[in-house]
């Protein structure tokens, strides 16, 4: 189990229990009577979009519902989830939240248009994906120890790129710098492609990369992965050690996704959604597709997800404060 929530036993406790999620015939007949909108707060073809569309497709198989994925990107994912938060709490508008817009952004943006903990109700976690600390194949550091030693000798010399302010790739680097006691120059980009271009060209030194974005350059041997940011090693890359096991206990930076609805949505609707989503996540094809993206399926009760959200908000709030992260 790869996410803090799961390691604490919160997720696993509910996965096999169908009884609490059964709803009466009357409520099942009353909802849904029309298509459900699944708001994806990021652009098409990205990791969150791929996961969202797979969930929407499988919900039709599992529950017989029509679920339409609708991209509403902008402001680090805030635009889409603000739409969800301000929608009627009737179960017909749901959202695919993520680490950034549910747990990081509240500490980064001084005037968030919504409060994730107050204006949204959690339904279920969906998937998780770590980042990989990658360097060029000819970089002088054979391992993480060597990189840290070099960074300590030369404060403010090494450059770390990220693909977007407030992303887990961005905050993975900030958290690592704080824990390692090093100072690096943070170079912002828009998207992973230009970061990788500059990494290969030698204009930056390291990148906490999404596994899917880095797959091509990893497979070609153009870059090397020194560590993974999850608490356990990736099943797809078991040879890559975790940051935590390399001398930074407790380090964990995982990008997770989860379904949320407007606060005030009827409990029976939330439970029906939860039951169907967890059935989707147990589908073997879903696990295979997520693995191709460098992700793993999760699944939780609404209560477990709520507990996890509070913990993640506190954690990333500390990181933003300690690293003095500011978004312009």
Q: What is the CATH number of the domain that holds 235?
A: 3.40.190.10
Residues 39 and 116 in one domain: yes
pLDDT of 75 above 90: no
pLDDT tens profile 26-38: 344 589 999 999 9
User: What phi, psi does 263 have (nearest 5°)?
Assistant: -60, 140
pLDDT tens profile 185-244: 999 998 899 999 999 999 999 999 999 889 999 999 999 999 999 999 998 899 999 999
122 occurs within a structural domain: yes
SS3 162: strand
> How many structural domains does the chain have?
2
Of the candidates 23, 45, 113, the one whose C-alpha atom is nearest the C-alpha of residue 77 is 113
> What letter does residue 183 receive in the DSSP assignment?
-
Residues 103 and 241 in one domain: no
Residues 211 and 142 in one domain: yes
Q: Are 139 and 241 in contact (CB under 8 A)?
A: no
251 occurs within a structural domain: no
Give me the CATH number covering residue 34: 3.40.190.150
pLDDT at 76: 86
49 occurs within a structural domain: yes
Tokens linked to 256: 């997770």
Residues 240 and 269 in one domain: no
Can you tell me the mean pLDDT for 145-162? 97
Can you tell me the mean pLDDT for 147-173? 95
Residues 228 and 303 in one domain: no
Last residue within a domain, chosen from 246, 266, 288? 246
Cis peptide before 257 (omega within 30 of 0): no
pLDDT at 2: 43
Tokens linked to 183: 């100072």
Last residue within a domain, chosen from 214, 246, 278? 246
CA torsion through residues 100, 106, 108, 109, sign: positive
Residues 47 and 112 in one domain: yes
Cα separation, 239 vs 227, whole angstroms: 9
328 occurs within a structural domain: no
Residues 175 and 107 in one domain: no
pLDDT at 110: 83
Higher-confidence position of 97 and 292: 97
Work out the pLDDT band at 4, boundaries 50, 70, 90: very low
Last residue within a domain, chosen from 195, 216, 246? 246
166 occurs within a structural domain: yes
Can you tell me the mean pLDDT for 136-165? 96
Q: Are 159 and 184 in contact (CB under 8 A)?
A: yes
Residues 13 and 125 in one domain: yes
Cα separation, 134 vs 324, whole angstroms: 24
Cα separation, 230 vs 184, whole angstroms: 22
Q: Reading across the β-sheet that carries 93-98, which strands appear in turn? A: 67-71, 36-40, 93-98, 254-262, 120-130, 296-297
Residues 33 and 108 in one domain: yes
SS3 49: helix
SS3 1: coil
Question: Number of helices and strands (H, E) in the chain?
Answer: 14, 11
pLDDT at 92: 98
Residues 166 and 144 in one domain: yes
Residues 123 and 138 in one domain: no
284's CB contacts (< 8 A; 6+ apart) are: none
51 occurs within a structural domain: yes
Residues 34 and 183 in one domain: no
pLDDT of 310 above 80: yes
Q: Are 39 and 93 in contact (CB under 8 A)?
A: yes
Cα separation, 173 vs 253, whole angstroms: 9
Enclosing domain of residue 173: 132-246
């Amino acid at each position: 189990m790869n996410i803090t929530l799961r390691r604490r036993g919160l997720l696993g406790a509910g996965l096999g229990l169908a009884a609490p999620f059964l709803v009466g015939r009357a409520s099942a007949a009353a909802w849904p009577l029309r298509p459900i909108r699944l708001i994806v707060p990021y652009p098409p073809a990205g990791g969150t979009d791929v996961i969202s569309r797979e969930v929407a497709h499988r919900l039709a198989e599992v529950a017989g519902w029509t679920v339409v994925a609708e991209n509403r990107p902008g402001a680090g994912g805030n635009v889409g989830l603000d739409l969800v938060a301000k929608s009627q709490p009737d179960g017909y508008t749901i959202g695919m939240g993520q680490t950034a817009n549910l747990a990081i952004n509240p500490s980064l943006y001084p005037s968030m248009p919504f409060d994730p903990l107050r204006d949204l109700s959690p339904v279920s976690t969906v998937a998780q994906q770590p980042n990989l600390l990658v360097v060029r194949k000819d970089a002088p550091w054979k391992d993480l120890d060597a990189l840290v030693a070099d960074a300590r000798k030369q404060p403010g010399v090494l450059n770390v790129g990220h693909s977007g302010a407030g992303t887990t790739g961005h905050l993975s680097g900030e958290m690592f710098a704080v824990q390692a006691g090093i100072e690096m120059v943070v170079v912002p980009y828009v998207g992973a492609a230009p970061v990788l271009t500059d990494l290969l060209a030698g204009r930056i030194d390291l990148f906490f990369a999404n596994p899917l974005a880095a797959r091509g350059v990893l497979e070609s041997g153009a870059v090397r992965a020194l560590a993974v940011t999850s608490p356990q090693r990736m099943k797809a890359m078991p040879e890559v050690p975790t940051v935590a096991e390399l001398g930074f206990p407790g380090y964990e930076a995982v990008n997770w996704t989860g379904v949320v609805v407007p606060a005030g949505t009827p409990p029976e609707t939330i439970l029906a959604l939860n039951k169907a989503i967890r059935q989707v996540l147990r589908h073997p094809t879903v696990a295979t597709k997520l693995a191709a993206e460098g992700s793993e399926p999760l699944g939780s009760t609404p209560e477990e997800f709520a507990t996890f959200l509070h913990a993640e908000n506190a954690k990333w709030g500390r990181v933003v404060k300690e690293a003095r992260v500011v978004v312009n």
